[in-house]
Structures are given as structure tokens and as C-alpha cells.
A and B are shown apart, each in its own frame.
Chain A
């Protein structure tokens, strides 16, 4: 870039300063609440620290007021795992399909992108309405027919129906876009070689394509879990009775006035970071294995 060897231009230092400030801006606040979550028992929501303790964590462990935070934690964890799995299982075949030509390809692509940019509150409201109308219809049916098995019917909206669907409309487009990027750079000669050697389509997928794109699939899974784990806007109107952790958290921001909420923030952020760490670890291992195998 610059002609005089290793001397950096002035712009470099300005931009490096901007970048440093940006990273501080990104991480500073979260570091502040991690530190403050170890506030002493008499400490408040702001600095200074009033001693150092794990008091607020043990308080959190006992639960936050009337909200059963650990049940919500478990629900979010399970939902995140299901969303992660389904994101990979639905996005991968779709990504493979997009490598060929099929009627409606363009429309499906635009629908997926639209799902990413249509405001979440609109999607959420739509799914909420859909299940409400479905419930009304089933109740009307129960009344009209008197069928026994429909009599106790309340609602079909819930964690693994409406909320799951809402989450997938958010995670799947990311998954598809990642796979687009992957397959754009994918070299088909390996597949062709396997096919020439007589491998069936399934074996080509299993032994050639999957090992090559495995690190990217880990990325898709990472998006699936973390986006679900933190999702609020799309879930808000499409959840039914029992809330996920982020929804409870949103409610707690106005009611909890102790460092307990920071402790909760530290725990959920730790959870996210652990998942990111595991994912990056998996990618590193897969890369190393491949490097070792090709040597």
C-alpha cells in the first residue's frame, strides 16, 4: 500500500485509534457488569465496588423474585438446542438444492432474505395471529362436534410450535447465506472424482462434501444456537404461556434494582461465550485434522 517500506501513514494511526475505541465501546459496558456482579452484599448498581463477593450469584441461584429464572434458563437451553439442530438439518439440504436449478429458486431465496429484513415485530404478530385463529377454529370444532379428545383444548402456541417456528425464520436465512458463501467457493472436482470412482450420491455427500464443509456447518450451528438463545423480538408475541430466558430478562430490567441482574447477565453471557468457544474449538480441530490428513 504505502511506498516507503514499513512506515505507516498517519491515517493508520487515526484508524487504529478509532478501532481501539470501538473495541472498548463494544466490550467496556459488558466488562463493567461482569465486575459489578461480584459486588459485595451491600453494594449497588453502580461503582464503586462495595467489597468483593459471590453474594449476588448465590442469590440468583435461589431465584429472582416471583420469576422462576432457572426454568426459563432450561427452556431457552432446550429450545436453542432444537433450533440449532433444525437450522443445520433444514439449511444444509436447502443449500445443496440451490447448487442445482429448480423452479421457484429465486422466489425461495427472496423469501429467506425477506424473512431477515421484515421487522421482527411484524413476523411475531403474524405468527401470534396465526395460532390464535387456529385455536379459535379448533375450539369451534370442539364445540360443534363434541369430540371428547378436543374438549380440554387450550392452545397450540408454545415453545416447540410457535416459538420454534419464529426462531427458525430468523436463524435459517443466516444458515442459508453462510452455505451460499461456502458453496460459491466449493470446488466440485472432488465430487466429480468420487462420482467417477462410482460413489453413490449419498456417499459423495457423506464422505466428500460433508467433511469439506464441516467447519462451516459448525458456524451454521453456532448461529442457530446463539441467535435463538438471545432472541426477543420475534418470540415476544409468539410464545404462548411460558417465557424464554431473554423475555424474562426483558421484564426484569424494569423490576430488579440489585446487582442480581448483573449476575444473571454474567451467567448468560458466559453461556454464550462458552458456546462460541466450543464452536471455534471444533472448527480449529476440524481444520487441524484436515491439514494432518492432507500432509
Chain B
């Protein structure tokens, strides 16, 4: 086995040497690549680029109760931020909604980061056998392939007024009356985010950790670093790409969410995504589009800030 591998390595090097002078033209015509990528590109053109362009366009359109008319007006944006500046420092509905969504994003981000990092660290550095590592990794990923809605509904028998947690707390005597804030509350919304999206944080961080050269950690230890010092000065800096990718996932999902906030908040808590959804249901397309453009702007700003820290493409 090792022999063949060495042979392969040797061959690759030969190939590299042969291909080195001035990057010899590819064996086949480049046209092939275009045909291969065309259907893929066309799909994103039709169902991603064009819809986004239309959303931006429609956000400037004029509308009344009956119809959409192409125009260039800022009235939709004015309606989104109606009275927001005048009311300050009191928060208008839009600002309050954005603030509440940002708070959810921040809470979910901190919780998934700490938990995801801990789990990834355990798998990458403490589980020694590779099959066990892969098995445990798979154990964490399986729920990702099942329905998010069901995973939210599944909290009802545990957190409801007569749920297991309340039954347990009352049995132990920690509380006399059932706690109401366990379900259909901000708590349950954040809990569901952590439940659903820790994986998005854990996988990229694990991926980064798996690439860390173990001799660096040996070296840190030999140089007299304590466990925490090694973690803080060696492991975490080397995990930065994974942390950034995971953070982008979690933050953008939570910023645009309306399903989790809807179900786990008992349809009583607002979020930007939910505002857009409600406006769509009332056929107020231009104002929904304006809200979507603002949301997109904020999310892109967050991603831009995060990617200042790392080049994603290099990490794949």
C-alpha cells in the first residue's frame, strides 16, 4: 500500500515537472468546461440572480391595492422606516424588529460557537481512533438530514406547561407552578436555534482542527505552554477559518429566519423574515421587497466584516 502511494507521489511530481514550463495548453479544448458548467450556471441565473435583481427592482416600484407598476420611487423604503428617525430615541416597529432579530443572532451565535467548538475539539483532539471519530461525527450529523419542523415540534412534550421539564421541576420542588417561559418564548427560540444549527458551526471548525499539524501542539507543550495557553495561542488561531465559516452560516440563517421564530415563538415574536413573509401573504410585494433588500444589505455587511478575517476559497 505504502509502496503504491509512494509511486503515485512520484508520478505526480513527474507530471508537475512535465507541466511546469509555461503551463502547457490543456489536453482538450476549453469549450468542454463551458458546456459542463452551463446548466449549473443557467439554473443559478434563472432562480437566484434574476430573482434577486427583480427583488431590488420591485422594491422601487409603485403599488396600490390592485397592481404593481414599474417606477422608480423610494416610497416603499420610506414606508419601511416610517417615523423611525422622528421617534428616536424611542424605537419604531422596524428598528425594534431589527434589534430583536440581531439579539437572537448574537445569542445563537455565542451559544453555537461555544458548544460547536467544544464538540469539535473533543472529536478532533480527544477521540483517538479514526473509525470512532467518524462514527461520533456521523451521530452528530444525522439530525441535520431530518425535518427541522419536527425537531421544533419535538420540544413541546418537554418544555410545555405539562411537559417533562416542568413535571420534573415540580416533583423536585424547585417550583410550585409550571414555568411559562420554557416554550413559545424567546428562550425556546434560542434553544431551537442552538439545537438546529450547532452543526453548522461544528463541522467547519472540526474541518479546521483536523488539519492542524499535531506536532505544533507538541511543540507548544514542550515549550512549556499550559493547556489553556495552547488552546488560546495555537488551536484557536488555526481554527479561525472554520470559526468564520460557521459564524457566517449561523448568523445569516438566524437573521433571515421566520420559521423557527414563528413556531418556537408561538407566532407571537417578530423577526425581519417574519415581517417579509406576512407582507408577502398580504400581497404587499414592493414593501416586502424593500425589506428584503435592507435585510440582504445587513447580512452582506456582516459577511463582509467576517470575511475580512479569512479567505474562504483557500479553505475548501
Contact = CB atoms under 8 A, between A and B. Distances in A.
Interface of A: 1, 8-9, 11-12, 15-16, 18-19, 22-23, 25-30, 32-33, 36, 44-47, 89-91, 93-94, 96-98, 100-102, 104-105, 108-109, 111-115, 117-123, 125-130, 132-133, 136, 165-166, 168-169, 172, 176-177, 180-181, 184, 187-189, 192, 195, 201, 222, 226-227, 229-230, 232-233, 236-237, 246, 249-250, 253-254, 261-262, 265, 268-269, 272-273, 275-276
B265 to A, nearest CB: 12
Given A90-B40, A276-B145, A184 B316 contact: yes
B99 interface: no
Given A29-B157, A117-B248, A126-B292, 11 more contacts: A1-B125, A8-B126, A12-B122, A47-B164, A93-B40, A133-B68, A166-B47, A172-B40, A230-B149, A253-B263, A269-B147
Contact of B41 (A22, A108, A168, A187): A108
B146 A237 contact: no
B12 A19 contact: no
Contact of B145 (A12, A16, A222): A222
A181 B118 CA distance: 24
B142 interface: yes
Contacts of A46: 156-157, 160, 162-164, 167
A125 B289 contact: yes
Nearest to B198: A22
A121 B125 contact: no
A272 B146 contact: yes
A169 B48 contact: yes
B295 interface: yes
Contacts of A32: 154, 157-158, 164
Q: Of B55, B122, B150, which is in contact with the most chain A CB atoms at under 10 Å from its CB?
A: B150
B125 A126 contact: no
Contact of B149 (A12, A47, A246): A246
Nearest to B34: A102
Contact of A172 (B15, B43, B46, B49): B43
B30 A100 contact: yes
Given A111-B48, A118-B296, A250 B149 contact: yes
B295 A25 contact: no
Contacts of B316: 177, 180-181, 184
Interface in B237-273: 248-249, 252-253, 255-259, 262-263, 267, 273
Contact of A97 (B37, B55, B145): B37
Interface in B28-54: 28, 30, 32-37, 39-41, 43-44, 46-52, 54
Interface string B132-156: 0000100110110111111111111
A94 B121 CA distance: 34
Nearest to B293: A122
Nearest to B285: A129
B85 interface: no
Contact of B12 (A187, A201, A253, A261): A187
27 contacts: A11-B126, A15-B121, A26-B143, A30-B151, A33-B156, A46-B156, A46-B160, A46-B167, A47-B157, A97-B37, A97-B40, A101-B33, A102-B30, A102-B34, A129-B51, A130-B54, A132-B285, A169-B47, A227-B145, A230-B148, A232-B148, A236-B277, A250-B259, A253-B153, A261-B153, A268-B146, A272-B147
Contact of B44 (A27, A112, A133, A230): A112
Nearest to B51: A126
Contact of A15 (B122, B155, B285, B296): B122
Contacts of A30: 143, 146, 150-151, 154
Size class of the B contact interface (CB-based, 8 Å): 35 or more
Contact of B147 (A118, A132, A230): A230
B136 A111 contact: no
Contacts of B217: 1
Given A46-B157, A122-B52, A97 B296 contact: no
Contacts of B15: 188-189, 192
A232 B259 contact: yes
Contacts of B252: 117-119
B37 A122 contact: no
Q: From B255, B259, B289, name the one whose CB has the most chain A CB atoms within 10 angstroms.
A: B259
Contacts of B140: 22-23, 26
Closest 6 CB pairs of A and B: A119-B256, A126-B51, A29-B154, A165-B47, A94-B40, A97-B36
B119 interface: yes
A113 B312 contact: yes
Contact of B54 (A133, A232, A254): A133
A247 B59 CA distance: 26
Nearest to B40: A94
A121 B296 CA distance: 10
B113 interface: no
Nearest to A47: B164
Contacts of A254: 267
A28 B157 CA distance: 11
A195 B40 contact: no
